A and B are shown apart, each in its own frame.
Chain A
Amino acid sequence: MTSTHSAGSAHILRLLWMLISAVLALMTIFPLVWMLVIAFKPAPEVFAPNFLPVSPTLGNFLYVLTEVPFLRYLANSFFMSATVTIVALFFHSMAGYALARLHFPGRDFIFLAMFSTFLVSLPVIIVPLFILVKALGLINTYAGLIVPSIFNAFGIFLLRQYYLSLPRELEEAAIMDGAGRWRIYWSIVLPLSRPILAALAILFFLANWNAFLWPLTVASDTNLWVVQVAIVNFKSQYAGAWNYVMAASTIVALPMLVLFVIFQRQITESIKTSGLK
């Protein structure tokens, strides 16, 4: 892909490229490494200039895990994010498919109306939304955490784009066979959507895992807390104890980082090949 003139200079270029990439990448993860390092430092070393802990300890993690039910909060976050992701992808792919492939009066208007909600972010509508959710009786419930987070024009938009690009022939054959739209969707379109659904699943899961403002507002019951709310609360309780706060932060970040390391190839590939662009 790059043009080089001789094998020798290609080799040097490659080394240079590796070096630059490595340095930039290390700089990028430096803050995360720093978090990890402090999480293993005993309290007096937190602001000490030494990079690695002199006397590393697991005490911070043990303390955090025994003091605060982080596992419960992790479970809540996982449940909320997974449910939103699955339901949202299902709804969005249905809507995206219809908007891309089916013909019905008002379709363009519906798409435009949906697309325009893309611009409305939560802080702008949080009070009316809260009033509505309360009217539905969903305050302090899992449904209250989950349902309002499902609907999102961005996902519909991307899926519509994807379906516009799918070859029609497969469907046409099914139509000739007299298959209904639902069957076409369920047994042909949905399986074909796997790459983009995988990519969007990751984005949706991440976005919901990281959501803070809505879970905070809708759930007062500590049993419904998600990790992001718990970590902010933890920070304000242990403001001075950075070693604990960083240990807690690590516990919150770890599941995502581990997932990413395991599925890294799939994640990047699916985002790349999904036509998500």
Chain B
Amino acid sequence: MGRSDMTYPSTTLASTTAKDRPVISRRNRRDWLAGYLFVLPDALGLLVFVGLPMLLALGIGFFEVDGFGSYKFVAFKNYARMWHDPLFWSALRVTVLYAVMLVPALYVSGLGLALLVQRGGRFATVIRAMFFAPQMVSLVVVALVWQILLVEKVGAIGRLAAAIGWGPVSFLGDPNLALITLVAVSVWFMMGFYMLIFLGGLQDIPGEYYEAAKIDGAGPVTSFWYITLPLLRPTSFFVLLVSIVMAAAGGQVFDLIYVMTNGGPVNATAALIVYIYKQAFQLGAFGYASAMASLLVVMLMLVTLLLFALTRGGRFDHD
């Protein structure tokens, strides 16, 4: 993919090599100042509203906090507690399981739908809109609707399950089904977004490639494997990065679990982010919760920095 810089303008990330630098050196100083001023509002905002709280959370992780203003320094006790807390490990397991199911499912459904609706035309436009529609409805509402659809015996899907002889089944009340049900609802909710991203990626693949393949006698399956998939690599990278981070710590995922199962039944859907929230707010263990949160952030940061390094500064167009 050496030529990709020229072929796909929209994914091209012009590198900042020496020859690109402004010729007139007097401009450098002015560019410095401009650069700092341009970055200032966001840098300051992120520092105050994300960075500082993050550092505070990191600090609180070393204290025993009662939730009413008393702080007792306990060094690494909260971290040691994690090691011995079966629910922490269970939460970690749920998080990993959720991500392992969700990320590929989103990838496949997003790409699949994109392939399905990539031709133009009025019909495809309508269909696209329908796939994207769940995204437009808030998660609070989504959870309510799914709850009544899924409830045993009287819910529409519950009835359907019973009609085909699989019932009564409790999708959200059975610890063996709850997590996978959540994954299904998550996919339903988010796939439209990934579909659009993949559509963008597909559109950037020049039609001549397919024409050439066709002349060579390649069928649609061959074209997909040897043209579409490799050329979608930058898009795939982006989709995977975003969906992994989202599955492990995303606010949307938290909202969804929180309103649909609140971590139950039997902690089967208590992902780490939900467990952290519960430790802090329902049990008042702010110190312990902060320690877990810090660990989660550090783990994700390592994953991201790794991806960052692999993609050379967030550049997805090179493999």
Contact = CB atoms under 8 A, between A and B. Distances in A.
B251 A122 contact: yes
A223 interface: no
B49 A102 contact: no
A253 B138 contact: yes
A264 B125 contact: yes
A20 B116 contact: yes
Interface string B106-134: 00000001001111000111111111111
Contacts of B117: 21
B53 A271 contact: no
Contacts of B261: none
Contacts of A99: 39
Contact of B251 (A103, A213, A242): A213
Contact of A164 (B13, B131, B139, B277): B13
Contact of A253 (B136, B210, B223): B136
Interface of B: 9-14, 16, 20-22, 27-28, 30-36, 38-39, 41-43, 45-46, 48-54, 56-57, 60, 113, 116-119, 123-142, 144-146, 148-149, 154, 156, 159, 188, 192, 196-197, 199-201, 203, 207, 210, 214, 218-220, 223, 234-235, 238-239, 245, 249-251, 254-255, 259, 273, 276-277, 280, 286, 290, 293, 296-297, 300-301, 304-305, 308, 313-314, 316
Nearest to A255: B136
Contacts of B41: 91, 94-95
Nearest to B308: A115
A117 B51 contact: yes
Contacts of A56: none
B200 A115 contact: no
A103 B21 contact: yes
Given A103-B35, A104-B35, A110 B43 contact: yes
Q: Which 9 pairs from chain A and chain B are nearest by CB?
A: A98-B38, A104-B35, A128-B56, A275-B10, A151-B45, A181-B34, A128-B53, A102-B35, A125-B53
B52 A180 contact: no
B304 A165 contact: no
A97 interface: yes
A116, A153, A235 interface centre (most CB from chain B within 10 Å): A116
A206 B133 CA distance: 12
Given A257-B133, A277-B234, A94 B39 contact: yes
Contacts of B207: 1
A119 B304 contact: yes
Given A29-B130, A151-B42, A156-B42, A231 B199 contact: no
A1, A26, A175, A182 interface centre (most CB from chain B within 10 Å): A1
A92 B286 contact: no
A121 B52 CA distance: 13
B11, B21, B118 interface centre (most CB from chain A within 10 Å): B11
Interface string A122-136: 111101110110000
Contacts of A147: 45, 49
15 contacts: A2-B220, A28-B188, A103-B21, A116-B301, A116-B304, A117-B46, A123-B277, A125-B50, A150-B49, A151-B46, A165-B13, A210-B255, A213-B255, A257-B133, A272-B200
Contacts of B52: 128, 132
B139 A212 contact: yes
A128 B13 contact: no
A17 B116 contact: yes
